[in-house]
């Protein structure tokens, strides 16, 4: 391959790796422009020759920078700058590149990658940086080769020879990096995170339950948190967040949190206790999530515990990845002091229709009434949906009497109101339902797992009721996830290990991980089915034969390679050889006698090897190529 | 190989002494002789063809015969005929001029088709059959035929199929001024040639020819190239008739001889390519609408378009 092409290819790789690292932050137009630039470059490698004039590129660069300055906002500084850099790199890719251009592109790629670390620091960054470092080392070596001989060709062997030092430098740098890793403080907190706060604003969980304003809820695939624990019965997978006590203007809010005692409860030992560690992604809220029903949590920072509401509220807004340990009792009820009836029986103005329904559901006892309400809502009469939600002035009436379709917020609200109409103190609990268990020992809870359920005070305890008839298997079974979500879970896993190994550096956990990996690998080996074996076998054989085929083809073309190079050399002395012309005859046409003689000798040697009775070896061809190369060099010097 | 090359060197020494300005003609003649083929020379008379043929014959101790073709020349004038011998009371076969190692056939296109075909047949078969008896022609057997391109009146042009029997058709041209001057000063060297001693015996020549036939290596790449080229002539829109298989065989034989004369025991593309214009041009037939003068050009451009096998 031509050295120039090789450098171009490597430059493309370098830019692509850097851009993938920041892909999530790119403007759609920037992405399209960059893709187009890459496309044109790939075309230039082989099929077309499309370069833009330098003045046009420079002008566009100035326009881009001007646009950046005009759109500059301190809160989005990082993203803006990354987009600008990607634009500049794309523009640079479009021109006919020389040594310095390749260097500039490489440098910009390094900037982009560095910028990406400011936005988001996760395990995958290691992969980006390793591949980028390797490519850049290779790039520097290739550029040096190119500087010495800009038209030279690089054969496979020579390329491998260049590859070797690149790999050696890379692997030598790893021990140094490990040393730095041990010395430098580790953080999961992107150092300039305040620059991109807006990314944490989206969430599936909300501070209030509001009915009748949104028609459709979009699935939010972001990870809310990871809970490291053993696998439990999925019926108990309720992650408690906030308690909503007041329903007003079609909206449930937490108004009376402060009236509750805020204190640490003493640790009681119950049966069914479950320990867990939560790795919470930044939420920009104060609410902390716990497994229902929480007994206590262990958190390094300040927080409040509302005993009767079982709420845990952080003192400060959670703006970075946080982790805390928790202890919960897997149960559907818990005892508290009797609740304030003014709060938990509060009702807004209710229409007649709803009152009629609540009359119908009245039972002999309070618990019977609650059961009736639950049965009524979970009966076939009602349908769970996230689309075409009831939108009206009185959405609850619309839901109960007319549409009979809704999401968990409607079901929970309806039950809360019906309970209160029947004189049962009730409240809504917002949090998450379900989670996807990974066999390495943790649940991944996505924003799409956000859920609202009901608690009713009957007897001396609060009882958990979930009137939503949704199919919760879908929220716990990984195999029912879409591909993209599964892909997401994979990166969550990487993130999880990053947290364990890097952020919460713990050697015993590392060893545990190693053992687990070993175990997984061992199990994996045993679990290959016959079909899988066949597929692997077929795949390997195809790869093998393809290799042999290409290898043989290569061997055939060694002579062709020589002839091509011979023609090229002839061309430098303005002799063109038509395909049917002999090498010797063409060499005789060279006017410079000395060169002509040398070329004739080379042609004769080649003929001897190629047409003589003995078989030609690659080594001999290589020697001839070297001789040709020397002749060309001599010509270039004089 | 070396043994034969020494002989070749001696031959050249001999020719350098007696022949001037005929290097190209000499080389092509020897090449044809070594390839066991025949040569057709298209040229005006008086350019030293006879001297060349004589020198070749003398240098190797070969017999030399000459046939001057006219339109009343009979086949028996070439092959010979049986004459009644009164003494023995039987027919006796008198060999014609064809029973020589080297035969110069002057102005072959003046002979009638009947005579031409008798000659050409004997060239191909290397034997003559007269009145039911087959007579083998002497070995080696080499015909140099000439055609006069200037006088077309009263001639019988050789049919293309017959031309195929000639390995090469060449065009000598006038000798260079320098050489012509030497010839003018020294006079014809024919006399001294007749008195010269051969440097090569007939047997040595036959050994040399069989060596070329059997011991020169031809790579598959060469064969494939010739096949490609032959196919190209057969498929080319300008040609009515492309190269025959016999033509391909001749090309390879000539290539072998060329390799030997360059001191190689293997054939390189140049051995083939350099002689293509002599070996190919007279064997292909152009379509009617294309003029004969363009033939050489068409063959040349076709030749350049067929890539060598690397």
Select from A81, A75, A77 the least CA-distant residue to A111. Answer: A81
Instruction: Say whether both B164 and B228 belong to one domain.
Output: no
Share of chain A above pLDDT 90, in %: 4
* CB-defined contacts A:B, below 8 A: 60
Select from A343, A231, A242 the least CA-distant residue to A287. Answer: A242
Q: Which helix (H) or strand (E) holds B26?
A: helix B23-34
Instruction: Say whether both B238 and B150 belong to one domain.
Output: no
Asked if B304 lies within 8 A of A610 by C-beta distance, the reply is no
- Per the structure block, which two tokens stand in for A578? 């038509």
Asked if B270 lies within 8 A of A585 by C-beta distance, the reply is yes
Residue B310 lies in a domain: no
The C-alpha of B206 sits at a distance from chain A's nearest C-alpha, in angstroms, of 24
Does position A74 have pLDDT exceeding 60, yes or no? no
Residue B69 lies in a domain: yes
SS (H, E, C) A269-290: CCCCEEEEEEEECCCCCCEECE
Alpha carbon distance B195, B58 (integer Å): 9
- Of how many residues is chain A composed? 638
Alpha carbon distance B105, B70 (integer Å): 11
Instruction: Say whether both B225 and B191 belong to one domain.
Output: no
Does position A354 have pLDDT exceeding 80, yes or no? yes
Report CA A338 to chain centroid distance, whole Å: 47
Does position A627 have pLDDT exceeding 50, yes or no? yes
Comparing A127 with A483, the larger pLDDT belongs to A127
Asked if B267 lies within 8 A of A580 by C-beta distance, the reply is no
Q: Which of A611, A618, A621 to mutate to test the interface with B (most CBs of B within 10 A)?
A: A611
Q: What is the mean pLDDT of residues A419-433?
A: 89
Q: What is the CATH number of the domain that holds B237?
A: 1.10.8.80
* Residue A110 CA: distances (Å) to CA of A89, A106, A133, A184, A192: 11, 6, 9, 21, 18
Q: Which of A76-90, A112-126, A199-213, A238-252 has the lowest mean pLDDT?
A: A199-213
pLDDT tens-digit profile of B52-91?
A: 888 888 888 888 888 888 888 888 888 888 888 888 888 8
Select from B169, B159, B165, B163 the least CA-distant residue to B113. Answer: B159
Query: What pLDDT score does A196 carry?
Result: 42
Helix-helix angle B245-261:B202-215, to 10 degrees: 110
Asked if B217 lies within 8 A of A562 by C-beta distance, the reply is no
The answer to whether B98 and B80 are in contact (CB under 8 A) is yes
Query: What pLDDT score does A200 carry?
Result: 36
Which chain A residues touch B219 with a CB distance below 8 Å? 610-612
CA atoms within 13 A on the CB side of A280: 26
* SS3 of residue A158 by DSSP: helix
Alpha carbon distance B36, B250 (integer Å): 9
Instruction: Say whether both B252 and B103 belong to one domain.
Output: no
Q: Which helix (H) or strand (E) holds A366?
A: helix A366-378
Query: What pLDDT score does A202 carry?
Result: 41
* Residue A426 CA: distances (Å) to CA of A205, A246, A332, A351, A429: 20, 10, 15, 19, 10
- Chain B: residue whose CA lies nearest to A579: B307
Alpha carbon distance B137, B123 (integer Å): 9
Instruction: Say whether both B192 and B273 belong to one domain.
Output: no
Instruction: Say whether both B192 and B126 belong to one domain.
Output: yes
* Pairing state between β A287-288 and A303-306: unpaired
Query: What pLDDT score does A57 carry?
Result: 83
Alpha carbon distance A428, A206 (integer Å): 13
Alpha carbon distance A82, A108 (integer Å): 10
CB-based contacts of A570-573 (< 8 A; 24+ apart in sequence): A570/A599, A572/A632, A572/A635, A573/A635
Alpha carbon distance A454, A414 (integer Å): 10
Tell which of B198, B232, B264 closes a domain: B198
Does position A217 have pLDDT exceeding 70, yes or no? no
CB atoms within 10 A of CB A289: 25
Which chain A residues touch B310 with a CB distance below 8 Å? 557, 559-560, 562-563, 610
Alpha carbon distance A188, A524 (integer Å): 32
Asked if B268 lies within 8 A of A611 by C-beta distance, the reply is yes
Which chain A residues touch B303 with a CB distance below 8 Å? 580
Alpha carbon distance B103, B144 (integer Å): 6
Structure ipTM: 0.79
Instruction: Say whether both B56 and B151 belong to one domain.
Output: yes
Q: What is the mean pLDDT of residues A176-200?
A: 53
Which chain B residues touch A615 with a CB distance below 8 Å? none
Comparing A287 with A182, the larger pLDDT belongs to A287
Residue A579 touches partner B, C-beta closer than 8 Å? yes
pLDDT tens-digit profile of A520-537?
A: 655 545 455 667 767 877
Dihedral angle over CA of B55, B56, B59, B65, nearest 10? -80
pLDDT tens-digit profile of A364-380?
A: 888 888 888 888 888 88
Residue B204 lies in a domain: no
Q: How does B126-163 read in b/e, with b if 16+ C-beta sit within 10 Å? A: eebebeeeebebbebbbbbbbbbeeeeeebbebeeebb
pLDDT tens-digit profile of A79-96?
A: 888 888 898 999 888 888
Residue B65 lies in a domain: yes
The answer to whether A93 and A105 are in contact (CB under 8 A) is yes
Tell which of B164, B198, B232 closes a domain: B198
* Residue A64 CA: distances (Å) to CA of A24, B157, B262: 20, 82, 70
pLDDT tens-digit profile of A140-185?
A: 888 888 877 666 677 778 888 888 888 888 888 878 777 776 666 5
Query: What pLDDT score does A189 carry?
Result: 45
Residue B157 lies in a domain: yes
Q: In what order do the strands lie in the sheet with A209-210?
A: A209-210, A251-253, A246-248
Asked if B221 lies within 8 A of A560 by C-beta distance, the reply is no
Select from A262, A267, A246, A252 the least CA-distant residue to A309. Answer: A262
Instruction: Say whether both B178 and B301 belong to one domain.
Output: no
Query: What pLDDT score does A437 carry?
Result: 85
Which chain A residues touch B269 with a CB distance below 8 Å? 582-584, 607, 611
Which chain A residues touch B304 with a CB distance below 8 Å? 578-581
Residue A584 touches partner B, C-beta closer than 8 Å? yes
Alpha carbon distance B87, B176 (integer Å): 56
Instruction: Say whether both B31 and B59 belong to one domain.
Output: yes
| Residue-averaged pLDDT of chain A | 78
Total domain count for chain B? 2
Query: What pLDDT score does B61 carry?
Result: 86
Asked if A580 lies within 8 A of B222 by C-beta distance, the reply is no
Which chain B residues touch A570 with a CB distance below 8 Å? none
Select from B40, B73, B212, B44 the least CA-distant residue to B142. Answer: B40
Q: What is the CATH number of the domain that holds B63?
A: 3.40.50.300
Alpha carbon distance A156, B81 (integer Å): 75
Instruction: Say whether both B56 and B100 belong to one domain.
Output: yes
Does position A496 have pLDDT exceeding 80, yes or no? no
Instruction: Say whether both B34 and B129 belong to one domain.
Output: yes
Asked if B270 lies within 8 A of A582 by C-beta distance, the reply is yes
* Three-point CA angle B111, B117, B123, nearest 5°: 110
Does position A554 have pLDDT exceeding 60, yes or no? no
Q: How does A304-343 read in b/e, with b if 16+ C-beta sit within 10 Å? A: bbbebbbbbbbeeebeebbbbebbbbbebebeeeebeeee
Facing residue for A584 by CB, picked from B265, B267, B270: B270
The C-alpha of B255 sits at a distance from chain A's nearest C-alpha, in angstroms, of 13
Residues of chain B with pLDDT below 70 are 188, 310
Residue B203 lies in a domain: no
Asked if A578 lies within 8 A of B304 by C-beta distance, the reply is yes
Asked if B304 lies within 8 A of A612 by C-beta distance, the reply is no
Residue B48 lies in a domain: yes
Which chain B residues touch A583 with a CB distance below 8 Å? 269
Interface of B with A (CB under 8 A): 217, 219, 221-222, 229, 265-270, 273-274, 303-308, 310
Which chain B residues touch A608 with a CB distance below 8 Å? 266
Residue B207 lies in a domain: no
Alpha carbon distance A155, A157 (integer Å): 6
- Of how many residues is chain B composed? 310
Select from A297, A257, A253 the least CA-distant residue to A275. Answer: A297
* Three-point CA angle B208, B55, B60, nearest 5°: 30
pLDDT tens-digit profile of A296-351?
A: 888 888 888 888 888 888 888 887 778 888 888 888 888 888 888 888 888 888 88
Provide the residue range defining the domain that includes B50: 2-198
DSSP A66-81: HHHHHT--GGGHHHHH
Select from B138, B179, B150, B160 the least CA-distant residue to B51. Answer: B179
Facing residue for B273 by CB, picked from A559, A585, A608: A585
Instruction: Say whether both B122 and B258 belong to one domain.
Output: no
pLDDT classification of A454: cutoffs 50, 70, 90: very high
The answer to whether B134 and B128 are in contact (CB under 8 A) is yes
Query: What pLDDT score does A185 carry?
Result: 54
- Chain A: residue whose CA lies nearest to B228: A580
* Three-point CA angle A388, A393, A397, nearest 5°: 75
């Amino acid at each position: 391959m031509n050295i120039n092409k090789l450098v171009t290819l490597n430059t493309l790789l370098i830019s692509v790796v850097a851009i993938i690292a920041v892909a999530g932050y790119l403007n759609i137009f920037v992405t399209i422009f960059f893709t187009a630039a890459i496309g044109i470059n790939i075309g230039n490698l082989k099929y077309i020759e499309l370069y833009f004039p330098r003045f046009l590129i420079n002008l566009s660069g100035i326009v881009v920078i001007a646009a950046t300055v005009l759109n500059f906002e301190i809160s989005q500084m990082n993203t803006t700058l990354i987009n600008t850099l990607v634009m500049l790199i794309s523009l640079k890719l479009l021109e006919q590149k020389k040594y310095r251009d390749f260097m500039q592109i490489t440098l910009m790629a390094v900037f982009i990658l560095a910028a990406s670390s400011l936005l988001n620091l996760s395990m995958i960054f290691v992969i980006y940086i390793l591949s980028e470092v390797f490519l850049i080392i290779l790039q520097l070596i290739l550029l040096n080769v190119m500087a010495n001989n800009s038209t030279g060709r690089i054969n496979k062997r020579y390329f491998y020879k260049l590859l070797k030092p690149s790999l050696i430098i890379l692997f030598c740098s790893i021990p140094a990096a490990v040393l730095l890793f041990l010395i430098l403080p580790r953080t999961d907190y992107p150092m300039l995170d305040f620059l991109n706060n807006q990314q944490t604003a989206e969430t599936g969980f909300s501070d209030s339950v509001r009915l009748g304003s949104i028609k459709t809820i979009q699935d939010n695939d972001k990870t809310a948190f990871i809970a490291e624990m053993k696998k439990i019965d999925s019926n108990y997978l309720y992650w408690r967040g906030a308690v909503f006590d007041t329903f007003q203007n079609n909206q449930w809010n937490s108004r009376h949190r402060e009236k509750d005692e805020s204190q640490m409860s003493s640790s009681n030992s119950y049966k069914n206790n479950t320990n867990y560690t939560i790795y919470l992604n930044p939420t920009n809220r104060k609410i902390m999530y716990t497994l229902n029903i929480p007994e206590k949590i262990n958190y390094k920072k300040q927080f409040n515990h509302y005993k009767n509401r079982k709420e845990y509220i952080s003192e400060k807004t959670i703006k970075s990845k946080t982790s805390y340990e928790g202890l919960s009792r897997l149960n559907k009820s818990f005892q508290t002091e009797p609740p304030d009836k003014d709060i938990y029986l509060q009702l807004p103005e209710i229409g007649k229709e709803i009152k009629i329904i609540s009359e119908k559901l009245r039972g002999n006892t309070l618990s019977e009434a609650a059961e009736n309400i639950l049965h009524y809502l979970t009966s076939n009469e009602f349908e769970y949906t996230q689309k075409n939600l009831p939108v009206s002035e009185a959405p609850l009436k619309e839901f109960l009497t007319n549409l009979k379709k809704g999401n968990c917020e409607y079901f929970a609200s309806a039950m809360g109101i019906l309970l209160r109409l029947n004189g049962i103190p009730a409240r809504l609990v917002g949090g998450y339902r379900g989670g996807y268990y990974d066999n390495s020992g943790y649940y991944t809870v996505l924003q799409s797992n956000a859920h609202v359920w009901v608690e009713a005070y009957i007897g001396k305890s609060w009882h958990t009721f979930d009137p939503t008839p949704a199919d919760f298997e879908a929220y716990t079974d990984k195999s029912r996830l879409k591909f993209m979500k599964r892909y997401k879970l994979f990166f969550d896993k990487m993130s999880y290990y990053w947290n364990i190994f890097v952020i919460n550096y713990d050697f015993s956990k590392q060893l545990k991980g190693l053992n687990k990996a070993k175990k997984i690998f061992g199990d994996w080996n045993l679990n290959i089915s016959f079909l899988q074996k066949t597929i692997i076998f077929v795949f390997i054989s195809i790869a093998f034969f393809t290799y042999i085929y290409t290898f043989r083809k290569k061997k055939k073309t060694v002579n062709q390679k020589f002839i091509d190079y011979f023609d090229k050399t002839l061309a430098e002395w303005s002799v063109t050889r038509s395909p049917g012309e002999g090498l010797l005859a063409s060499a005789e046409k060279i006017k410079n006698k000395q060169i002509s003689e040398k070329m004739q000798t080379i042609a004769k040697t080649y003929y001897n090897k190629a047409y003589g009775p003995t078989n030609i070896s690659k080594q001999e061809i290589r020697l001839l190529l070297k001789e040709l190369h020397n002749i060309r060099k001599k010509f270039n010097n004089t | 190989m070396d043994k034969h090359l020494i002989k070749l060197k001696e031959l050249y020494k001999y020719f350098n002494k007696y022949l001037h300005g005929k290097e190209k003609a000499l080389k092509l003649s020897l090449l044809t002789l070594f390839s066991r083929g025949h040569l057709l020379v298209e040229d005006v008379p008086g350019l030293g063809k006879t001297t060349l043929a004589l020198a070749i014959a003398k240098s190797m101790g070969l017999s030399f015969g000459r046939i001057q073709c006219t339109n009343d020349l009979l086949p028996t004038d070439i092959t010979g005929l049986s004459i009644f011998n009164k003494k023995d009371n039987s027919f006796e076969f008198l060999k014609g001029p064809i029973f020589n190692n080297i035969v110069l056939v002057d102005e072959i296109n003046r002979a009638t088709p009947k005579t031409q075909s008798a000659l050409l047949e004997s060239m191909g078969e290397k034997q003559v059959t007269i009145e039911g008896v087959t007579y083998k022609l002497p070995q080696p057997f080499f015909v140099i035929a000439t055609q006069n391109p200037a006088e077309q009146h009263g001639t019988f042009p050789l049919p293309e199929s017959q031309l195929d029997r000639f390995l090469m058709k060449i065009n000598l041209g006038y000798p260079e001024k320098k050489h012509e001057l030497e010839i003018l000063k020294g006079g014809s060297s024919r006399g001294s040639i007749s008195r010269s001693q051969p440097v090569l015996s007939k047997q040595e020549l036959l050994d040399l020819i069989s060596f070329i036939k059997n011991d020169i290596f031809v790579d598959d790449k060469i064969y494939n190239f010739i096949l490609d080229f032959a196919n190209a002539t057969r498929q080319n829109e300008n040609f009515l008739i492309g190269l025959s298989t016999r033509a391909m065989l001749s090309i390879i034989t000539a290539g072998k001889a060329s390799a030997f004369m360059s001191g190689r025991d293997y054939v390189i593309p140049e051995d083939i390519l350099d002689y293509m214009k002599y070996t190919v041009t007279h064997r292909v037939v152009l379509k009617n609408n294309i003029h004969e003068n363009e033939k050489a050009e068409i063959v040349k451009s076709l030749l350049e378009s067929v890539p060598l096998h690397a």
